[in-house]
Amino acid sequence: MFSGFDFDVIQRSLPYLWQGMLFTLGLTFLAMIGGIFLGTLLALMRLSGFRVLNMPAGGYVNLLRSTPLILVIFWFYFLVPLAIKKISGDAYAQGIGPFYSALIAFTMFEAAYYCEIIRAGIQSVPRGQVQAAYALGLTYRQAMMAVILPQAFRNMVPILLTQGIILFQDTSLVYVVGLTDFMGAAGKVAQRDGRLVEMYLFAALVYFLLCFSASHIVKRLQARYSVGR
């Protein structure tokens, strides 16, 4: 089965693949940070008693969660340049480049998923904590920042990281707009050298090793963090 294999093609293209991997890791990391930040805001909106806040947040989350990621990527590739032209008022405004368009698409998409995780995390903090914080005279902001969110995030660390692993896999879908992430790099070498079998199997192996070890680390963290609860 491996007799006709050309392992050399992998070795030759390693520097190029590494560039792709840096793109993938950068996109994953930044989209995760952005997604968690926006997701926290959305979760606070969804949990608030004001309809003006919780209705739009709920609508946004449900809309994004029922749309395929590929369609969301297409949406943002179409909308981001339009928005830039609108904001700058210049009909010939330069785009912000494919990386940032992808970053915005993934951040907005992940925010919807992180929102639901964080909402569940906030709700898992016992009610007495909120009441105690208010009884001590803390404002909403202080109660959230100093009492509720730190506890919520402590419980959520494993599941936030698991979502990060899913995001890492999902970034391969930037393929549909032709970006050179790790999978894009592997695909381009595969097409150029006619070595589809080697490159795609190598890509699968790399993704597997990274995700498998990452999820094992998360499992360990989970065991450690669950102590004391």
- Judged by the rule CB under 8 A, the positions of this chain that interact with other proteins are 1, 63, 65-71, 74-75, 78, 169-170, 172-173, 175-176, 183, 187, 190, 196-197, 200-201, 203-204, 207-208, 211-212, 215
Q: How far apart are CA 129 and CA 11, in angstroms?
A: 56
**Within the chain, what is the greatest distance between any pair of CA atoms?**
73
Q: Which is nearer to other proteins, 16 or 200 (CB)?
A: 200
Q: Which is nearer to other proteins, 142 or 226 (CB)?
A: 226
Q: How far apart are CA 225 and CA 167, in angstroms?
A: 22
Nearest approach, Cβ of residue 189 and other proteins (Å): 13
Nearest approach, Cβ of residue 186 and other proteins (Å): 9
Q: Which is nearer to other proteins, 30 or 197 (CB)?
A: 197
Nearest approach, Cβ of residue 71 and other proteins (Å): 5
Q: Which is nearer to other proteins, 8 or 142 (CB)?
A: 8
Q: How many other C-beta atoms are found inside a 10 Å radius of the C-beta of residue 200?
A: 14
Nearest approach, Cβ of residue 153 and other proteins (Å): 21
The answer to whether residues 177 and 102 touch, using CB atoms and an 8 Å cutoff, is: yes
Q: Please, what is the angle between helix 14-47 and helix 182-193, to 10°?
A: 150
Identity of the amino acid at 129? Q
